[in-house]
């Protein structure tokens, strides 16, 4: 379980081999990202946004729903025009779960590579956009590459960074300020294999 800033527990689910194969597709991951960042939408809206065929998008939305990543927003829309939203559960992917599973290795590779592409594209979009000095000065692109840590130290660093973000995130029911905009925080921390100096 993950705790939200309001103190209410947020459900989480561990991604297994079946659900990994259900999400590991570039279009499905783009659909999930769009619903996560911009909120509920119909297949027609998502198809226009992503430049895809509505029928194809509808099929992939149903696949995401079958695997529990999204759900229909009941009480909204019609029989012909369904609204979809991301489920509340936080997805927990542990790559070590699939180390000994050759059937899942391809899906894991697709998932991770698509995730990295999405993270890169978000940063590239921010850099290309024309933000005023107030917002440009508030954003940050940094890296800290000279650290040497043990696995336990890296886990502790990640846990502490997550706690800091949780402290700054407003409660889900909090009213945002008049000058508030959606913000994306991306953190990547990983070991780097030492290179031969020779």
pLDDT values of the chain reduced to their tens digit, one per residue, 198 residues: 344 444 455 688 899 999 999 999 999 999 999 999 999 999 999 999 999 999 999 999 999 999 999 999 988 877 778 999 999 888 999 998 998 888 899 999 999 999 999 999 999 999 999 999 999 999 999 999 889 999 999 999 999 999 999 999 888 788 988 999 999 999 999 898 888 766
107: exposed, middle or buried (Cβ count in 10 Å: 0-12, 13-18, 19+): buried
Domain boundaries, the chain: 2-139
Name the DSSP class of 138.
H
Model confidence, pTM? 0.83
Q: Distance between CA 113 and CA 119 in Å, rounded?
A: 10
Beta bridge partners of 12: 90
Q: How many CB atoms lie within 10 A of CB 71?
A: 15
CA-to-CA distance for 85 and 61, rounded, in angstroms?
10
Check if the beta carbon of residue 68 is closer than 8 Å to that of residue 157.
no
pLDDT at 99: 83
- CATH pick for 2-139 out of 3.20.20.120, 3.40.50.880, 1.10.10.10, 3.30.420.10: 1.10.10.10
Radius of gyration of the chain (CA): 19
């Amino acid at each position: 379980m993950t705790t939200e800033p309001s103190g209410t527990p947020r459900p989480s689910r561990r991604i297994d081999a079946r659900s990994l194969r259900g999400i590991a597709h570039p279009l499905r991951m783009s659909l999930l990202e769009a619903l996560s960042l911009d909120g509920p939408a119909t297949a027609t809206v998502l198809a226009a946004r992503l430049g895809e065929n509505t029928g194809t998008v509808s099929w992939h939305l149903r696949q995401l729903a079958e695997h529990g990543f999204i759900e229909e927003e009941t009480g909204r829309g019609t029989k012909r025009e369904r609204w979809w939203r991301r489920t509340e559960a936080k997805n927990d992917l542990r790559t070590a779960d699939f180390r000994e599973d050759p059937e899942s290795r391809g899906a894991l590779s697709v998932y991770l590579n698509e995730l990295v592409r999405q993270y890169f594209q978000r940063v590239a979009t921010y850099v290309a956009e024309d933000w005023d000095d107030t917002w440009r000065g508030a954003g940050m692109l940094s890296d800290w590459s000279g650290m040497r840590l043990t696995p336990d130290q890296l886990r502790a660093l990640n846990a502490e960074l997550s706690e800091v973000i949780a402290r700054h995130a407003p409660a889900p029911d909090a009213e945002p300020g008049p000058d508030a905009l959606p913000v994306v925080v991306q953190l990547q921390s990983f070991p780097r294999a030492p290179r031969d100096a020779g």
